[in-house]
Amino acid sequence: MTPQKTIERLILYSTILEKLLTSGTTCVFSKQLAELTGNTAAQVRRDLMFVGYTGNPQSGYTVSSLLESIRGLLEPERGISIVLVGVGNLGRALLSFFVTMQSKFTIIASFDNDSHKTDRVIGGFHCYHVDQMRQILTNTYVQLGIITVPASQAQAVADRIVDAGVKGIVNFAPVPIKVPADVYVENMHITMTIEKAAYFSRSKSVGERFDG
């Protein structure tokens, strides 16, 4: 079993280490990294055990080489290749974000089932019809599919992505999707997350009156 939470935090550490590197910091202690990422020093050290990188009691960790070690663990040889399905508002926002970003993410293509959108360049990438997915991806390795279609179509789209041989999905549609055991799904349920935040923010306001 690979520790999900540890991987999440390692990704976070790597973004912070990038900043430290840019700002010219050469060394960092677990305590500092903890402070910068909102964790505890013990947590940081435990996470780094997984990476295998080892610091020393006098200077802590060398920023550049720790970053390299984490990247070695997290990153593929080449960037992360992605197809995005569903070129609505959210899909387009993500696409233009990927275009702008000097990024480790490479968009291979986008897909939609609306003929007003297909066979055009949208958000900087060619948009194909979903029916063409399997064919287009036949000789192309794609690491992730991003689903940004309405809930009603999410499962059908997931099926096609799986059918095209993609082993990872990030699902923005507000429904669970079913996939074979050899496909990894990460859900980004935006509205559900907002509801969750609303719930817990209310418990934070205990004692306050809501007279707004």
Q: How far apart are CA 126 and CA 142, in angstroms?
A: 16
- Is 72 a binding residue for a second copy by CB under 8 A? The answer is no
Given 12, 16, 37, 53, the residue binding DNA (CB under 7 A): 53
Given 61, 111, 125, 128, the residue binding DNA (CB under 7 A): 61
Q: Which residues contact 166 (CB under 8 A, 6 or more apart)?
A: 83, 137, 142, 143, 144, 145, 183
- Smallest CA-to-CA distance from 145 within 164, 119, 117 is with 164
- Is 121 a binding residue for a second copy by CB under 8 A? The answer is no
Q: How far apart are CA 52 and CA 139, in angstroms?
A: 36
Residues of this chain that interact with DNA (CB under 7 A) are 1, 3-6, 29-31, 39-43, 45-46, 48-49, 53-58, 60-61
Residues of this chain that interact with a second copy (CB under 8 A) are 2, 4, 7-8, 11-12, 15, 36-38, 74, 76-77, 80-82, 89-90, 92-94, 96-97, 104-105, 139-144, 146, 166-170, 174-176, 178, 182-186, 188-205, 210-212
